Structure 1
Amino acid sequence: MEEFYQSDLFSYLVLPLMIFVARVSDVTIGTLRIVMVSKGQKLIAPVLGFFEVIIWLLAMSKIIQNIDNWVAYFAYGLGFAAGNYIGLILEEKLAVGIVQLQIITRANADNLIAKLKARGYGITYHEAHGATEKVGVIYSIIKRADIKPVIEIIRTYNPNAFYSIEDVKFVSKGVQSTAKPLPLQRWRKGK
């Protein structure tokens, strides 16, 4: 077995692959940890941080032990880049938290408002003065997992509406969304 650890196959293929996988893992976990910190998840964030650091220490110890192996450096950097990408994709799929949706319409928003209410979303609506004309402004606090279906409603009932989405860390009171999860969302939640 010692021969294998001293071989070029191990040094220039297996070891860099291990470092790459470790780096992808720790950076992915780190990306998710940062999201959990921003969402105020006080229990999940430290647990993720623990595993992130342990994996990073293992990867770094292998880099230091093989300081003259340029392939290991390349694998380390590539793992960092891939970990960022995978972490962002996972964060998007998890859709943790809530967001504030602001919709500004030029056209009559009655159909859009009715459809949002019918789907169980709480809304606040008022008329305002835009740069050149009167506009309608709709606000709603929704789950991040509901962003896509809400955008589809907007595109269907008021396709020229301007909308923006902002993260919300905490909501104290108000109408909670009673929107039913779509089939994919039910599957993700294990229902």
Structure 2
Amino acid sequence: MDFLEGSVFIYLFIFLGKILEVTVATVRVVLINRGEREKGAVIAFFEILLWLFITGTVLAGFQEDIIRVIVFAIAFAVGNYLGSWLEEKLAFGLSSIQVIVPEGEVSDELVKTLRSNDYAVTILKGSGKDGVRDLMVLHLMRKRIPTAVSLIKSSLNNAVIIVNDVKVAHGGYIKK
């Protein structure tokens, strides 16, 4: 990177490169944690190339130019933020939603609404502080969570809604 030495472009290279590297690393970790090992491994190859170039550029001249270290650290923080934001937008993987509602007509209507929107719903009976409850369990792609929660809230605004990540699911009905 000698051609960048002595110019403001070295800081821009470090800043943008580190943001990209950390963002990619965040997505890689999420993919691996969700069982997408092959995709994670491919991303890891590009991540380590970025890391070597960026970190090498910082280490090569940090004693004479401490601003490189500061730019590197700021970009690391920004990359973490952007990586988590990107992962949320991509919404890889599966989730489970549990909905606790009073048993009865309102519960039946909610099940019909969810099923008519291609959500698989399993209903269990339970007992709560205020009486018999229906516990609805939905397994779905994470991208579909906002729509499902919106449907639930519009049908029954006092429903208890719990969302969990699911690592692996076998069988059943999950609309992609």
- Compute the TM-score of the two structures, normalised by the length of structure 2: 0.91
Runs of 4+ in 1 over 2 A off after TM superposition: 4-7, 131-134, 175-178
Quote the Cα distance in structure 2 between the aligned partners of 1:6 and 1:59: 14
For 2:133 and 2:5, the matched residues in 1 are separated by 71
**Residues of 2 paired with 1:100 and 1:86: CA distance?**
25
Taking the aligned partners of 1:82 and 1:121, their CA distance within structure 2 comes to 36
> Which of 133, 140, 151 is matched with 1:135 structurally?
133
Equivalent residues of 2:141, 2:174 under 8 A apart: no
Aligned to 1:44: 39
Q: Report the AA paired with residue 150 of structure 1.
A: A
The equivalent of 2:164 in structure 1 is: 166
Instruction: Give the structure 2 partner of residue 15 of structure 1.
Output: 10
Pairing of 1:105-144 with structure 2 (within 5 A):
105-106=101-102, 108-144=106-142
Deviation digits for residues 156-186 of structure 1, max 9, x if unmatched? Answer: 00111111111112111112337xxxxxxxx
- The one-letter code sitting in structure 2 at the alignment partner of 1:21 is L
Structure 2: runs of 5 or more not aligned: none
How many angstroms apart in 2 are the aligned matches of 1:156 and 1:58? 51
RMSD: 1.7
1:86 paired to 2:100: no
* 1:169 alignment partner AA: K
1:147, distance to aligned residue in structure 2 (A): 0.6
Q: For 1:39 and 1:47, locate their aligned partners in 2 and report how far apart those are by CA, in whole Å.
A: 15
2:173 maps to which of 164, 169, 175:
175
TM-score, length-scaled by structure 1: 0.84
Deviation readout 1:3-59 (Å, 9 max, x if unpaired): x7553xx1xx32121111111011000000011001111211011111111111111
Structure 1, unmatched stretches of 5+, are 179-191
Task: Pick one of 27, 34, 49 that aligns with 1:54.
Answer: 49
Partners of 1:117 and 1:15 lie apart in 2 by 55
- The letter of the residue matching 2:123 is Y
Residue 72 of structure 2 corresponds to which residue in structure 1? 76
1:105 Cα deviation (Å)? Answer: 1.3
Q: CA deviation at 1:134?
A: 2.2
2:99 alignment partner, one of 100, 103, 125: 103
In structure 2, the CA distance between the partners of 1:6 and 1:37, relative to structure 1 (3 Å rule), is: closer
Superposed, 1:24-43 pairs within 5 Å as 24-43=19-38
Structure 1 stretch displaced more, 129-138 or 163-172: 129-138
Question: In 2, distance between residues paired with 1:88 and 1:147?
Answer: 17
